[in-house]
Amino acid sequence: MTRPRRASLTTGEPTRPHDAPTRPRGGAGRAPDDTAPGLRTGSLRVRTVVAVLLLLAVLLAALAVTVELTLGQRLRAQVVDRLSDRAAAAAALVGTVDGDELADRLSAQGLSVVIRDANGDAIVAGPSPEQLREGPPALGEGGPGPAGPASGLTDGPGGAGTDADGNTGSGSSSDGSSATGDSATGDSSTGAAPGDAAGASSSDSVTVSSSEARSDDEVTTLVSQLSDGSTITLTTDSRSVGETLVQLRWVMIGASAAFLLIAAIGLALVVRATLRPLDRMTGVARSIAHGDRGRRLRPARRDTEIGRVAVAFDEMLDGVEGAERAALDAETRVRAFVSDAAHELRTPVAGMRAAADTLVRSPGTADERERLATHVVREAERASRLIDDMLLMARVDQGISLDVAPVDLGASLLADVERQRLRRPSLDLRVVLPDGPVVVAADAGRVSQVVGNLVDNAARATGGTGQVTLWLDASRADEVSVLVSDDGPGVPEGDRERVFDRLVRLDEARRSGDGGAGLGLPIARGLARAHGGDLVCEAPGFGRPGAVFRLTLPVAVPAVRAGSEDAAVARASSPTAAPGPAPAPAPAPAPALRRTVR
């Protein structure tokens, strides 16, 4: 014996356990969390301007440091080069100029001079390094100044100095030999005779063999080792390098501040123009909030950052507007349903009340009392049927259980037609079946209820005397279709979907005295979708005038809830068998031969 499988149906949300959390309806994924941190809404303009200015400040600081280091190193190298030139010129004069005079000439340029010969004897001239650290010497202190009469050492081409009278004292010739000029008269002579100069211009001239420089922020010292074993130590004031770097630093700071100020003003203007689309978005959002629902941004370019934001904004507005429209439509339908339901219930209730009042107040004859009692019973049945339909519709919405089992759809249609013939003997009912059984997994009672609703609808459309044909189409391997057609006025194309709304009746049905309440077709569609199928109203085809309704049922139905995601997946994929005996296999496509039962 085959044990029936249980499947549940719903046209809305899937059922949940009573203790399971629920989600808000209307498409919302989850309820807003008031405890979550809010969105940071700092000024985007200020952030952008400050970030760019900070970046520029860092770059300018790095540039200033680089320039200062490079220039400082270059200035210190120039100081060392000048000391090296002085040492080279002094080395060229060794042997031709007395050591004391040579030291005086060097110290006259503001240098601290220490000349130590090979025997260790030292000649000191000029200010000491400590005095140089304290400040440059005053004019005339520590020896003659740069403009004094003894400043006979200059940076000539040959490194030779000149005396106070402008005559050449001693220097190096172009070939590296030493030469002497004419001696001056009096006490200011160089002390070198012409004969001595000629003797000194030999190939044994003194040169600088090695040099070592030491410097700090205040003085620079150059120790030069000469080829004759003597040593010349020259120290000069290098505070001018630091002062130059300080001046450069202040110039860089002032220029950078002016540049950053100009950059801030320019950035504010540029960022304001760049963020103008956001102001437009804000204006559009506010206008929509005040009722202008049709406004959109419609960006010219969709591949930019603001373009993508604008597209997402328009899509969000379309979704919100669609949800609002759907909510208004649903509210309108609910109001219409309540109004129509009240109207439908008011008619039988009013009839029962009038008949009952007549029975109570009027003695009447026995026939009249029986007629009134029969009217009360008929109106009560009508109200009860309407209430049952409304309850069934509510159960369909909430979820209804189906007793799924293998069903021979052809035999079921024949049984339904026989019952309808007993109820409506004047209605011409015909059934077109394929040869062989057509077995589906369905709830036989609910399928018969769907077919009965379709036949009742066709009978009302034809006035109860027309022709109604039921076609069973098993040509497809994955589903079976039942077509119910009549020769009535048909359903207009614009109403073929509206007829499945609740309590909707076309004008022809409203004028008919046997018009239903408008719940038969919605209930039939809900039950069809419970089985994983559907019910639609099609355009009339050849040989099928009037209205045509197509009921589709799959060959197997998984135990899922209609309207859920699993039901949608079940329609697109092969169903799996439920626990228990497997249902009958899907029938092969029906042959072309058919038989008509009248």
Question: φ and ψ at 226, to 5 degrees?
Answer: -90, 165
Q: How many CB atoms lie within 10 A of CB 236?
A: 23
| pLDDT tens, residue by residue, 446-483 | 899 899 889 988 888 888 888 899 999 988 888 899 99
Contacts of 544 (CB under 8 A, 6+ apart): 469, 483, 485
State the burial class of residue 417 (Cβ atoms within 10 Å of its Cβ: 0-12, 13-18, 19+).
Answer: buried
Report the distance separating Cα 181 and Cα 168, nearest Å: 5
Residue 472: strand pairing partners:
482
Counted residue by residue, the chain has a size of 598
Report the distance separating Cα 352 and Cα 359, nearest Å: 10
Q: Of 216, 212, 211, nearest to 236 (Cα)?
A: 216
Mark 424-461 as b/e (b = at least 16 C-beta within 10 Å).
beebebebebbeeebbbbbbbebbbbbbbbbbbbbbbb
Contacts of 85 (CB under 8 A, 6+ apart): 155, 159
Q: What would the DSSP string read from start to end of 457-502?
A: HHHHHTTTSSEEEEEEE--SSSEEEEEEEESSS---GGGTTGGGST
Please answer whether residues 531 and 554 qualify as being in contact, where contact means their C-beta atoms are separated by less than 8 angstroms.
yes
Long-range interactions of 211-214: CB distance < 8 A, separation 24+: 211/84, 211/87, 213/80, 213/83
Please answer whether residues 459 and 528 qualify as being in contact, where contact means their C-beta atoms are separated by less than 8 angstroms.
no
Strands 467-473 and 428-434, sheet pairing: parallel
Report the distance separating Cα 449 and Cα 310, nearest Å: 51
Instruction: Name residues of the chain where pLDDT drops below 50.
Output: 1-29, 139-152, 154-203, 508-513, 557-595
- Give the pLDDT of residue 301: 83
Helix axes 366-398, 520-530, angle to 10 degrees: 40
- Give the pLDDT of residue 574: 35
Instruction: Give the 3-state secondary structure of residue 582.
Output: coil
Q: What would the DSSP string read from start to end of 43-86?
A: -HHHHHHHHHHHHHHHHHHHHHHHHHHHHHHHHHHHHHHHHHHH
- Give the pLDDT of residue 498: 84
**Residue 400 is encoded by which pair of tokens?**
């209804």
Q: For residue 208, give the H/E element and its range.
A: strand 208-215
What is the value of pTM for the model shown?
A: 0.43
The dihedral built from the CA positions of residue 141, 146, 147 and 153, taken in this order, carries a sign that is: positive
Cα 121 to the center of its chain, rounded Å: 84
| pLDDT tens, residue by residue, 93-103 | 887 888 888 88
For the chain, list the domains and their CATH numbers.
Answer: 51-244 (no CATH), 405-597 (3.30.565.10)
Q: For residue 368, give the H/E element and its range.
A: helix 366-398
- Give the pLDDT of residue 31: 52
- Give the pLDDT of residue 317: 85
Instruction: Give the 3-state secondary structure of residue 569.
Output: helix
First CA to last CA across the chain, in angstroms? 33
Instruction: Give the 3-state secondary structure of residue 20.
Output: coil
- Give the pLDDT of residue 543: 60
Q: How many CB atoms lie within 10 A of CB 193?
A: 12
Please answer whether residues 400 and 6 qualify as being in contact, where contact means their C-beta atoms are separated by less than 8 angstroms.
no
Question: φ and ψ at 552, to 5 degrees?
Answer: -115, 135
The 3 state secondary structure assigned to 320-343 is HHHHHHHHHHHHHHHHHHHHHHHH
The dihedral built from the CA positions of residue 249, 253, 259 and 263, taken in this order, carries a sign that is: positive
Instruction: Give the 3-state secondary structure of residue 121.
Output: coil
Instruction: Give the 3-state secondary structure of residue 29.
Output: coil
Residue 112: strand pairing partners:
235
Q: Which residue has 């019910």 as its token pair?
A: 535
- Give the pLDDT of residue 368: 83
